[in-house]
Chain A
Amino acid sequence: MSFAYAPAPESRAIVDIAPSYGLFIDGEFTEAADGRVFKTVSPSTEEMLSEVAQAGEADIDRAVKAARKAFGTWSALPGSERAKYLFRIARIVQERSRELAVLETLDNGKPIRETRDADLPLVAAHFFYYAGWADKLDHAGFGASPRPLGVAGQVIPWNFPLLMLAWKIAPALATGNTVVLKPAETTPLSALFFADICRQAGLPKGVVNIVPGYGDAGAALVAHPDVNKVAFTGSTAVGKEIARTVAGTRKKVTLELGGKGANIVFDDAPIDQAVEGIVTGIFFNQGQVCCAGSRLLVQESIQDELLESLKRRLSTLRLGDPLDKNTDIGAINSAEQLTRITALAEQGEAEGAERWSPACELPSSGYWFAPTLFTGVTQAHTIARDEIFGPVLSVLTFRTPEEAVAKANNTQYGLSAGIWTEKGSRILAVASKLRAGVIWSNTFNKFDPTSPFGGYKESGFGREGGRHGLEAYLDV
């Protein structure tokens, strides 16, 4: 008897993608000063979705000027009025949630199951959460009347295009700052749709400006002398470059950078739950997650049992059309990213780790990488040290909790970690010794707007989310 799944595609008719988009500056869509455009494609089919204006230095300057002009009136608005704008945005996001989920899946390649059930609800939740802060800043613990910083220059990545936008824009607006945001060059569309949401919400012109472009546009934004606050999510290498750029200035900066999260499974862990957590930890969004649990640390005594369960579970994952509601693994975001993942996986093999993937047919067009497991990995292996940012899990073992902690901390990064054990005291003891900003015990990859998120060490500084997330946008 066969239990094959019938196709269950989500209709893309709900999204109307225009053949071309401009930059969103001072409430208007405009062409780039030098007329440059770039194409954005769907990673699952390589189909060209739209042509987008490409911001250059002159455009960044124009956007910063618009944001500066809007700052005076926006920051002078009573918090209760700013709150209402943010509540409007949150509501419109909810209303257009299905449209945005399909759009995000088309432009990013991630499964509709994730955009629909994770990204979009969180986007709305972030706007709701920070909307409520806008008129309560006096009570946030930063003094009696904390002031906004001014113009926030924000650069976001392609792995959660709309969610990262929400993480950046919601607290910035709630605290009275105005925004120039540069989405990633491979995923500009949902940010441009967000510009339309700002229009529907009646947000004053210039408060939010969206300037799609490449790294040069991001660098120009970060370096712009009239930007007061820099917020960046992306690679550690670029984060270091930004830290050098803002050195000696008065710009406040927060950086959310790379990670190499350890997911530690002790011998008393509930195996089936742990396997689900491992899968969520590394295969959520094709592993293109800075806090992914990309290093599995298994207690040696249960290694065989756990790996057997894990391989069995991986064999049930469905890879393919991201718009299919049954799809677990979608496309890799770009050809460039696929090349990087492929090269690192090959290096893992070359260095002697044992590679395994479930039987898995890859679509003939688009950018795809099968879920991959490496066993026999040591701490010296490149795949145990470097962030792969793809669906590749490296498995290491340990014998004692002390060894697990030492191995987990043996990295330049310090963003996330997981702990799986039934013993409460072990959770607390191990959690307190791990040098990471987010620890998930008996769960993984959970996010919430009320919870501070951010890294230790070279995973960056500052926190996004929660009361802590306000500090980055206030003069305190």
Chain B
Amino acid sequence: MSEKSEKSVPTEPRLSVFKTYKLYVGGKFPRSESGRVYEVSDSKGNWLANAPLSSRKDARDAVVAARKAFGAWSGATAYNRGQILYRIAEMLEGRREQFVREVAESEGLSKAKAAAQVDAAIDRWVWYAGWTDKIAQVVGGANPVAGPFFNLSSPEPTGVVAVLAPQESSFLGLVSVIAPVIATGNTAVVIASENAPLPALSLGEVLATSDLPGGVVNVLSGRTAEIAAPLAAHQDVNAIDLTGADEALAKELEIAAADNLKRVLRPQPVDYVATPGIERLTAFLETKTVWHPTGSLGASGSSY
């Protein structure tokens, strides 16, 4: 009996199961509608996988998904959004080894260095999870107007944000630019690092299992310049984070973004390991000020 079962275990090395990497759009995992893929290799040039080479149509589909998700996500309570961001950290923690491997291969890092990046990325979700229900108190509040009015300023999400993820930091950088966008109630269309898209595509699988509604984050892989152009010109995109663009592309996209006065976050040097400030939270917030009479007539007496 025991002899038989030992015999059934193959002695030669096991052939691994390859993963077909797919986009993450509207909570689903489609291939690129164009049917195109491109080769992704590690830092030594060894083939890792074929990633989807997204098209303009994929970008437009992602915007539709992000717009559809905006109402419910921006309307969710800040507490609820914080819970879900924390849940993302939980899910990531459970798949830590997978991401350490993918980051190490993608960026040519040692296991230890990749692990530090992944740990920092997990902690970053926790950090932003705690911000969701605090940012309004930090940047909003009552204004002491010189008249019989009650008047309150509060931050609101801008809408659909196109995010060009940083090219070099394929995972910690990616998380650092996505988390603040959705923490405040925006929805995002993210273009992964062009040469190292695999951690981003795998993040989609984590997001899909983290109670994050489909469409809140949409992940595209491919040529940054090709996908970013239609997003920068898209009339239903409200803001664009140009982090992953070089100087020439950033200028071109900022000009295109002026067409519907998108909010633009220009590329700037960032140390992704350091704890961020709140600039990435406020970059995609609007301030709404609501006025109402108080019914007070001051010295002349009460009017209510």
A: which residues have CB within 8 A of B? 125, 141, 236, 239-241, 243-244, 247-248, 250, 255, 257, 412, 427, 431, 436-443, 446, 448, 450-454, 456-458, 460-461, 463, 466, 468, 476
Contact = CB atoms under 8 A, between A and B. Distances in A.
Contacts of B258: 240-241, 243-244, 247
Nearest to B149: A446
Interface stretch (B59-67, B102-110, B138-146, B191-199): B138-146
Contact of B247 (A248, A452, A460): A248
Contact of A451 (B247, B257, B289): B289
Contacts, number: 98
Nearest to A125: B146
Interface stretch (B121-129, B176-184, B290-298): B290-298
Interface string B133-170: 00000110001111101010100001000000000000
B291 A439 contact: yes
A236 B138 CA distance: 31
B287 A141 contact: no
Given A125-B146, A141-B138, A451-B153, A439 B290 contact: yes
A448 B292 contact: no
B261 A460 contact: yes
Interface of B: 138-139, 143-147, 149, 151, 153, 158, 238, 247, 250-251, 254-255, 257-261, 263, 266, 279, 286-293
A466 B143 contact: yes
- The DSSP consensus for interface residues of chain A is loop
Contacts of B151: 448, 451
A463 B291 contact: no
B288 A255 contact: no
Nearest to A434: B288
For the complex of A and B, list the 6 residue pairs with the smallest distance between their C-beta atoms, beginning with the closest.
Answer: A248-B251, A243-B258, A247-B254, A448-B145, A450-B143, A451-B143
B254 A240 contact: no
B145 A450 contact: yes
A139 to B, nearest CB: 13
Given A244-B258, A460-B261, 8 more contacts: A247-B254, A247-B255, A250-B266, A439-B288, A439-B289, A452-B153, A456-B286, A463-B287
Nearest to A466: B143
Contacts of B259: 240
A241 B258 CA distance: 8
Nearest to A129: B146
A458 B260 contact: yes
Given A247-B254, A442-B293, A466-B143, A476 B279 contact: yes
24 contacts: A141-B138, A240-B258, A240-B259, A241-B258, A243-B254, A243-B257, A244-B258, A247-B254, A248-B251, A248-B255, A250-B266, A431-B290, A436-B288, A437-B286, A438-B291, A439-B289, A439-B290, A439-B291, A443-B149, A450-B145, A451-B289, A461-B263, A466-B143, A466-B153
Given A243-B258, A457-B261, A437 B288 contact: yes
A335 B143 CA distance: 39
Contacts of A436: 288
Contacts of B279: 476
Contacts of B147: 446, 448
Contact of A468 (B145, B153, B260): B153
Given A141-B139, A450-B144, A461 B289 contact: no
A385 to B, nearest CB: 15
A248 B249 CA distance: 9
A87 to B, nearest CB: 16
Nearest to A257: B261
Task: Name which of A240, A243, A476 has the most chain B CB atoms within 10 A of its CB.
Answer: A243
Contacts of A476: 279
A240 B261 contact: yes
Contacts of B238: 457
Contact of B146 (A257, A412, A448, A463): A448
A443 B290 CA distance: 10
B238 to A, nearest CB: 7
Residue of B254, B258, B261 contacting most chain A CB atoms (<10 Å): B261
A453 to B, nearest CB: 7
Given A125-B146, A248-B247, A441 B153 contact: no
